[in-house]
Structure 1
Amino acid sequence: MTETKELRGQFLLWLGAAISIAEIMTGMLLAPLGFSKGFLAILIGHLIGCGLFLLPAGYIGAKKHQTAIQSTKVAFGSTGVLLFSLINLIQLIGWTAVMIVNAISAMNGISSSLLNFKNSIIMGLVIAILIIIWLLVSENSLYRINLIVVNLLVIGAGIMIFLIFKAPVSHTSNGLNMTFGSAVELNITMALSWLPLIGDYTKSTKHPLAMSTISSFSYFFGSLIMFTIGLLLTTRTGFTDFTSFLATSGLGIIALFIIIFSTVTTTFLDVMSATINIQNIHSFKHMKLISIIIVALGLVIAWVVPIDNYQNFLYFIASVFTPLYAIVFVTYFIMKKTLPYWLNIIWWLMGIIAYYQLQKFDFIFGTTIIILFGLGLLVYLSQFILPKSHFRNIK
């Protein structure tokens, strides 16, 4: 594959990941700030999440030809890779279930309006089967399919923006409270949900900087638009339910297409990375079969487990992976050597505790940025206290 085609494929991959109803629904939560402040929070949060986290994480994976979780080995060793692979596997299966739940709910709403029909079992099976098809096709076929689908999704997003401006203006409050700091944090955490995945898709390149840059920029661009659509929808029309808007928009079958394929192109990456994390824990020959099992597991969870508020799920991901990658970044980019693995584990656990404690203070640029620089500084200063014999040089 040529460099141009490789980068174009990566751009489409991450643009497809960003175009999802989850991003739109999260953007709708920012409506209490109003459009101007809400958009500023979206912009700042995405700059922090994509620029300070996704870009360096993708670069490390590309430079070392390692998956996102394997790249933590520089600071935590092989045992750390196993631990974080297990944690990441759990959150990826959770994300798979969340995405399927959102899709089932939205599809039922649209099909009920169009066809007077709704069935969670059938809707879930449709999504699961399409995800499996994405998993089974060859790389070249996937490139061509993604090219078509993502372009159609971009057109669909443009149509939604047109319909939002066409709809009657209403400023009905959604009854939620949202501070600027918590809005920024929510944007950062959505980007951070991809942090333990991005290296999985940059590791095979010969062009580390270009690949990591195009990946993080593509997600930044797509996610920024999706968040803005959600914010604009609620602040301009008063809709607090994205499905209700689609059902009354006149899009018809196009609305179902947007829901189904935006879910598939996003969830596909979660399932692929979950499979990769299983390989980190134990090597299996039949990766495609493992992927299908993960889809089935996510589908069953979506059917039987109530998943009402994934905002706390996002905060959990941020609390775990922000301190983890803060330590990895300082170790790899600045120190060029690692503290003892046990000490980094202690710093990581302290970072998790600090995240939840600092949440109470509602910093204007979010809690994540405090953890990144604060914990990073503490890890850096630790090298001046310990004897040199405790350090390991990294390659």
Structure 2
Amino acid sequence: MSHSTSPFGQDTLSADHVERSLGMPGTFALWLGANVVVTTILTGMLLAPNLTFQHAMLLVLLGSAIGIIPLVLIGLMGQQTGMTTMVLARGTFGRWGAVFPAWVNLLALIAWSWIQALLAGMSLDHAVSTLTGYSNVALFTVICEGLVVLIALRGHLGIEKAEKLAAVLMLLLSGVVVFALARNYDLPSITEMEATGVLGAGVIFDIIIATAFSWIPLAADYNRHCRSPRAAVIGTWGGYVAATLIAMGLGATVSTLSVSIGFPQTYDPTQLLSSFGFGLPAALVIFFSVLTTNVMCVYSATLSFMSVRPSSTFWKPALIIGIVSVIGSLIPGILDQFQTFLLIIGSVFIPAFSLMIVDYFLIDRDQYTARQLIDQADRLPAINPQALGCYIIGAVLAYYWNWVAPLSVGASLPVFVLTGTLYYVTRQVTQLQQKAKA
């Protein structure tokens, strides 16, 4: 990647010019800053009092530690090859087959950006109205997304700097919120509260897994900049698990405490925390966390577009996607669809990335070179029919087990394992048949 004097990032799909700018601390900070975010806090609010606090946090630890493994593996693929997630998809699905997940990822990330921008706007509005009395959610939403676009236009180096700062701020501000809770209320009492909700442990475990899986499309986009496989694996795993424990733990704590003292549950933590008298630090936590996460969404959406239109200059689609994100964030009622949106992403992406991991680590890693996937992409097969067939089966299973006949253990892990296993067996049988014919 060239060191240009342009104010815009010069990020490309080329694996030959990837800057190895992330050591282990930087990788840890990147994934910590990205995941101490309000949507993860909201997920934590679903956990308790559906389960006891201790049970919920045990599931958070196990679910995040297991669920992050596919993301770590896709990120390792990026670190070893220097290529983005959707370029790597060409090796599994073929030249045209990879276009579908790229477009789905682009649209999913834009939708993520809409939700995140609205939440950031709500948080900034709360902070400003607390200090000045002025309130205008739409205006602050536009301001937040404007900042997102400016940071994203700087490329991966700008994002890495923002995430390091965000990681420190998140830890400090989260500490302030927990300290204020402990000082004003009987915090240990949350461990004594009984489960009162309708969501079972299996569904909640699946939601935690799906939260981790929802990050997989972004993994190689950032971890291709890691200096070593060790940084890519340990930094990513540690940063994500720590972030999930902090964010979901904060959500579960606030949710359980609010119910125990008679406050209604709400999807706006700033509103809930302001009832306790310290909404301002919570609003700042949410604002900074959403801002940095949203930057990653806009950046990866841009790379997904570039994988379909390789001739695009980075800043042009980044700017257009940012503008679309601003407009979409003003859609009424978009926040109500958050949980459904998570499950839809899982249905689409879980089988796709299961295939990519199996194909790269177990079947044919040699085909995943920049020469084959970028320089000579026009020579790739248009579609890998075996991968496409297994993907369709996996997507159908994900839909069936999520909406038609939900499994008690959730659909995410079963779909991931079954799809990958089916693809591996199919490829092995095909290779044996080819050898027999030869």
Give your verdict on TM over 0.5: yes
The letter of the residue matching 2:342 is: L
What corresponds to 1:363 in structure 2?
A: 408
Matched, 1:350 2:371: no
Matched, 1:283 2:283: no
What corresponds to 2:178 in structure 1?
A: 161
How far apart, CA to CA, are the structure 1 residues paired with 2:271 and 2:84?
Answer: 39
Query: Does the Cα contact within 8 Å between 1:46 and 1:188 map onto a contact in 2?
Result: yes
Structure 1 residue 384 displacement after superposition? 4.5
The change in CA–CA distance for 1:139 and 1:30 in structure 2 (over 3 A counts) is: closer
Choose which of 50, 67, 71 in structure 1 pairs with 2:88: 71
How far apart, CA to CA, are the structure 1 residues paired with 2:88 and 2:344?
Answer: 21
The letter of the residue matching 1:162 is: F
Query: Does the Cα contact within 8 Å between 1:59 and 1:209 map onto a contact in 2?
Result: no
Structure 1 residue 322 displacement after superposition? 0.9
What corresponds to 2:51 in structure 1?
A: 33
How far apart, CA to CA, are the structure 2 residues paired with 1:385 and 1:68?
Answer: 28
What corresponds to 1:96 in structure 2?
A: 113
The change in CA–CA distance for 1:82 and 1:234 in structure 2 (over 3 A counts) is: same
Query: Does the Cα contact within 8 Å between 1:167 and 1:237 map onto a contact in 2?
Result: no
Structure 1 residue 261 displacement after superposition? 1.2
Query: Does the Cα contact within 8 Å between 1:17 and 1:262 map onto a contact in 2?
Result: yes
Matched, 1:7 2:24: yes
Query: Does the Cα contact within 8 Å between 2:20 and 2:225 map onto a contact in 1?
Result: no
Q: Deviations over 1:35-84 (max 9, x none)?
A: 02111221121022112x11111111111221112222222111122111
1:79 aligns to what SS in structure 2? coil
The change in CA–CA distance for 1:324 and 1:148 in structure 2 (over 3 A counts) is: closer
Structure 1 residue 10 displacement after superposition? 2.1
Structure 1 residue 116 displacement after superposition? 3.3
Query: Does the Cα contact within 8 Å between 1:202 and 1:212 map onto a contact in 2?
Result: no
Q: Deviations over 1:246-280 (max 9, x none)?
A: 32344464344222211111101000000001100
What corresponds to 2:244 in structure 1?
A: 223
What corresponds to 1:331 in structure 2?
A: 359
The change in CA–CA distance for 1:146 and 1:41 in structure 2 (over 3 A counts) is: closer
Q: TM-score, normalised by structure 2?
A: 0.81
Q: Deviations over 1:193-223 (max 9, x none)?
A: 1101110011234413422331232122112
Q: Deviations over 1:313-356 (max 9, x none)?
A: 11111111111111112222223379981121111011011012
Query: Does the Cα contact within 8 Å between 1:86 and 1:277 map onto a contact in 2?
Result: yes
The change in CA–CA distance for 1:142 and 1:348 in structure 2 (over 3 A counts) is: closer
How far apart, CA to CA, are the structure 1 residues paired with 2:148 and 2:434?
Answer: 47
What corresponds to 2:134 in structure 1?
A: 117
The letter of the residue matching 1:201 is: Y
Structure 2: 5+ residue runs without aligned partners? 1-17, 368-380
What corresponds to 1:204 in structure 2?
A: 225
What corresponds to 1:272 in structure 2?
A: 299
The within-5 A match list for 1:133-148 is: 133-137=150-154, 143-148=160-165
How far apart, CA to CA, are the structure 2 residues paired with 1:28 and 1:225?
Answer: 12
How far apart, CA to CA, are the structure 2 residues paired with 1:222 and 1:352?
Answer: 29
How far apart, CA to CA, are the structure 2 residues paired with 1:8 and 1:107?
Answer: 29
Moved more, 75-84 or 138-147: 138-147
What corresponds to 1:23 in structure 2?
A: 40
The letter of the residue matching 1:181 is: G
How far apart, CA to CA, are the structure 2 residues paired with 1:20 and 1:57?
Answer: 22
How far apart, CA to CA, are the structure 2 residues paired with 1:143 and 1:66?
Answer: 18
How far apart, CA to CA, are the structure 2 residues paired with 1:386 and 1:178?
Answer: 43
Q: TM-score, normalised by structure 1?
A: 0.89
How far apart, CA to CA, are the structure 2 residues paired with 1:128 and 1:97?
Answer: 9
The change in CA–CA distance for 1:19 and 1:175 in structure 2 (over 3 A counts) is: same
Query: Does the Cα contact within 8 Å between 2:298 and 2:322 map onto a contact in 1?
Result: yes
Q: Deviations over 1:80-123 (max 9, x none)?
A: 22111111000000000011122233344454455433212211
The within-5 A match list for 1:232-251 is: 232-238=253-259, 240-241=265-266, 242-251=269-278
Percent of aligned pairs with the same residue?
24
What corresponds to 2:102 in structure 1?
A: 85
Matched, 1:126 2:143: yes
